[in-house]
A and B are shown apart, each in its own frame.
Chain A
Amino acid sequence: MAIRNLVEARTAFASQGLYAAVSTRRTIQIGTGTEPLEIGIGLIENGSAIVEIDGRWTALVTKYMAQYEVPGTLDELVPLILSVYAHQKQHGGELYEAFEQVVADAERYLVGGVPARV
């Protein structure tokens, strides 16, 4: 089934038991659940995201202060993220570790880690 927008992406994630929330800023955040805190803030467990940056969809999986960024269409990125969560569910470990197992040559997608110097 084609995924044409974030609402359909959310449906796809929810159908697999994942938490997914769409913001007004062309972002969908995904996780295995949320931890509501007493001050009203919700923390996403095992979070990832698909965001639109400069007109392009990009999947984000964080690795401490770095992050994996994979550009693509929603049709490509939603199944990718679903496969990462499925791998984590089966094998355990951190989400970024699952990403590294699922995505060939994952290092090429790693961005950031330290601020760029002038």
Chain B
Amino acid sequence: MTPADAETSGTGGGLRYLTEEVCPEMVAQEQSHSCQVACARQLLIDAGVIMTETELAERIEYHEGSGTDAKDIAALLTRLHPNDRFMGGTIEPGFLESVTGVAPWIASVKTLSGSRHAVIVDKVDNGIVHIRDPWGLFGPGSSTGSRATMELGNFHDHWRAGFHLSVFRQRTSQGAQS
């Protein structure tokens, strides 16, 4: 794993990653505002459903200047995912363990530069959060997204400031995942 440079990692230095590297298992977002759509696209790819970002974006409302709605992303995933149903919204405090139990899930985090960004959380292991980030190492236009790690305390701070917005599967076909 590549130690992340805090000045350049995670959405242009906006997230306090410990490590970050190119990840072929994470698509790169194609627009500056399409992070949630890119995360949804990757969850569908993980389930064997191959769609372009454009095809997904055409199926969801984009609110000018404000982006997409977690509930709409969840509804889109529920329609297209072969097995699972999804919910989206603000999680009650203290439910990180529960939502990670049905990982991977999409977290809305606030970056140090003040913007909101969506990433996939794959697992939490020994106080380290394992993330797939559609921003990639170079922003929209990167060949792939990135895989990163973050200390749990820092993740809590980014997620808390991002309103604990989440998109997660309501039930898995294979049980809870770590």
Contact = CB atoms under 8 A, between A and B. Distances in A.
A7 interface: no
Interface class of chain A by DSSP: strand
Interface in B121-178: 135, 139, 156-157, 160-165, 168, 170-171, 176
Contacts of A47: 89-90, 163-164
Contact of A51 (B90, B114, B139, B160): B160
B21 interface: no
A44 B14 contact: no
A63 to B, nearest CB: 5
Interface residues of A, number: 38
Contacts, number: 136
Contacts of B139: 115, 117-118
A118 B66 contact: no
Q: Which of B32, B36, B115, B117 has the most CB of A within 10 A?
A: B115
Interface stretch (B49-57, B75-83, B98-106): B98-106
A46 B92 CA distance: 12
10 contacts: A39-B171, A47-B163, A49-B90, A62-B163, A64-B66, A65-B66, A112-B116, A113-B116, A115-B12, A115-B111
Interface of B: 8, 11-14, 32-33, 35-36, 63, 65-69, 87, 89-95, 98-99, 101-102, 108, 110-111, 113-118, 135, 139, 156-157, 160-165, 168, 170-171, 176
